[in-house]
A and B are shown apart, each in its own frame.
Chain A
Amino acid sequence: MALALVIVPLAFAAAAAAMPWQKWRPWLLPACGAVHLAMTIAALGRPEVSAIGGWLKLDALGRLVLALVSVLFFACSLYAPGYLALRAERSNRVFVPCLLFFLAMNSLIVEAQHLGLMWVAIEATTLASAPLIHYNHHARSIEATWKYLLIGSVGIALALFGTFFLAYAALRAGLGTSLFFPDLVREAPRLSRPWLHSAFVLLFVGYGTKMGLAPMHTWKPDAYGEAPGIVGTLLAGALTSCAFLALLRFFQIVSAAGEAAFARQLMIGIGLLSMAVGGVFMARQRDYKRMLAYSSVEHMGILVLGVGIGGLGVFGALLHLVNNAITKGVLFLSAGNIHRAYGSKSTEDVRGALRRLPFSGALFLAGFFAATGSPPFAPFLSEFTIVRAAMTSGHAIVGGLFLLMLAIVFIGMGGAVLSVVQGEPPAEGPSGYHDRLGTIAPILLLMAIVLFLGIYVPAPLVALVQKAATFVEVKP
Chain B
Amino acid sequence: MQIVADPLLVVLLLVNFFMLGTSRLRALINGSAAQGVLLALLVVAVHGEVTLQAALIALATIALKSIVIPSMLTRALRDAAIHREIEPVIGFVPSLLLGGLGTGLSVVFARTLPLAPEHVGSLLVPASLATAFTGFLLLATRRKAITQVVGYLALENGVFVMGLTLVEAMPLLVETGVLLDLVVAIFVMGIIIEHISREFSSIDTTRLSSLKE
* Residues of A in contact with B (beta carbons under 8 Å apart): 116, 119-120, 123-124, 127, 130, 134, 137-140, 142-147, 149-150, 153-154, 156-157, 160-161, 164-165, 167-168, 171-172, 176-177, 179, 192, 194-195, 198, 221-222, 225-226, 281, 284-285
Q: Mark B131-175, 1 if CB is under 8 A from A, else 0.
A: 010001001000001001000100110110011011001100110
Closest Cβ of chain B to A41, distance in Å, is 33
Closest Cβ of chain A to B35, distance in Å, is 15
- What would 4 more interface pairs be, CB under 8 Å, given A167-B170, A281-B213? A123-B180, A142-B208, A150-B148, A167-B166
Cα of A156 to Cα of B182 in the assembled complex, Å: 11
Could you tell me the dominant secondary structure of chain A's interface residues? helix
With A119-B177, A168-B166, A194-B114 as known contacts, state yes or no: A143 contacts B211, CB within 8 Å.
yes
Q: Is the CB of B155 within 8 A of A139?
A: no
Q: Is the CB of B152 within 8 A of A179?
A: no
List the B side residues contacting A143 at CB < 8 Å: 208-211
List the A side residues contacting B165 at CB < 8 Å: 164, 168, 171
Q: Is the CB of A147 within 8 A of B213?
A: no
With A127-B185, A194-B112 as known contacts, state yes or no: A120 contacts B180, CB within 8 Å.
yes
Q: Choose among B113, B205, B211, B213 the residue with the greatest number of A CB atoms under 10 Å from its CB.
A: B211
List the A side residues contacting B209 at CB < 8 Å: 143
Is B49 an interface residue, CB under 8 A from the partner? no
Q: Is the CB of B113 within 8 A of A195?
A: yes
Closest Cβ of chain B to A353, distance in Å, is 23
Q: Is the CB of B192 within 8 A of A140?
A: no
Cα of A222 to Cα of B136 in the assembled complex, Å: 21
Which of B114, B181, B185, B195 is A142 in contact with, Cβ under 8 Å?
B195
Q: Is the CB of A149 within 8 A of B163?
A: no
Closest Cβ of chain B to A55, distance in Å, is 13
Is B196 an interface residue, CB under 8 A from the partner? yes
Chain A to chain B contacts (Cβ below 8 Å), 16 pairs: A119-B177, A124-B184, A139-B210, A145-B192, A146-B208, A149-B192, A150-B148, A156-B181, A156-B185, A160-B177, A160-B178, A168-B165, A172-B115, A179-B173, A194-B112, A285-B213
Closest Cβ of chain A to B103, distance in Å, is 17
Q: Is the CB of B139 within 8 A of A171?
A: no
Is B116 an interface residue, CB under 8 A from the partner? yes
Cα of A137 to Cα of B195 in the assembled complex, Å: 9
Q: Is the CB of A154 within 8 A of B162?
A: no
Q: Mark B184-213, 1 if CB is under 8 A from A, else 0.
A: 110011001001100110000100111101
Q: Choose among A138, A157, A168, A171 the residue with the greatest number of B CB atoms under 10 Å from its CB.
A: A157
Closest Cβ of chain B to A140, distance in Å, is 6
List the B side residues contacting A142 at CB < 8 Å: 192, 195-196, 199, 208
List the A side residues contacting B115 at CB < 8 Å: 172
Q: Choose among B152, B155, B180, B192 the residue with the greatest number of A CB atoms under 10 Å from its CB.
A: B192
List the B side residues contacting A137 at CB < 8 Å: 195
List the A side residues contacting B145 at CB < 8 Å: 146
Closest Cβ of chain B to A120, distance in Å, is 7
Cα of A164 to Cα of B132 in the assembled complex, Å: 13
Cα of A146 to Cα of B196 in the assembled complex, Å: 9
Q: Is the CB of A164 within 8 A of B174?
A: yes
Cα of A179 to Cα of B173 in the assembled complex, Å: 11
Closest Cβ of chain B to A164, distance in Å, is 5
Residue of B nearest to A193 (CB): B114
Cα of A161 to Cα of B106 in the assembled complex, Å: 14
List the A side residues contacting B211 at CB < 8 Å: 140, 143-144, 147, 221-222, 225-226
List the B side residues contacting A285 at CB < 8 Å: 213
Q: Is the CB of A198 within 8 A of B113?
A: yes
Closest Cβ of chain B to A456, distance in Å, is 40
Pick the 8 closest A-B CB pairs, nearest first: A143-B208, A222-B211, A177-B169, A164-B162, A161-B159, A153-B185, A171-B169, A142-B195
Closest Cβ of chain A to B202, distance in Å, is 12
Cα of A385 to Cα of B91 in the assembled complex, Å: 50
Closest Cβ of chain A to B93, distance in Å, is 25
Cα of A244 to Cα of B185 in the assembled complex, Å: 22
Closest Cβ of chain A to B201, distance in Å, is 11
Closest Cβ of chain A to B210, distance in Å, is 6
Residue of A nearest to B165 (CB): A168
List the B side residues contacting A221 at CB < 8 Å: 211, 213
Closest Cβ of chain A to B195, distance in Å, is 5
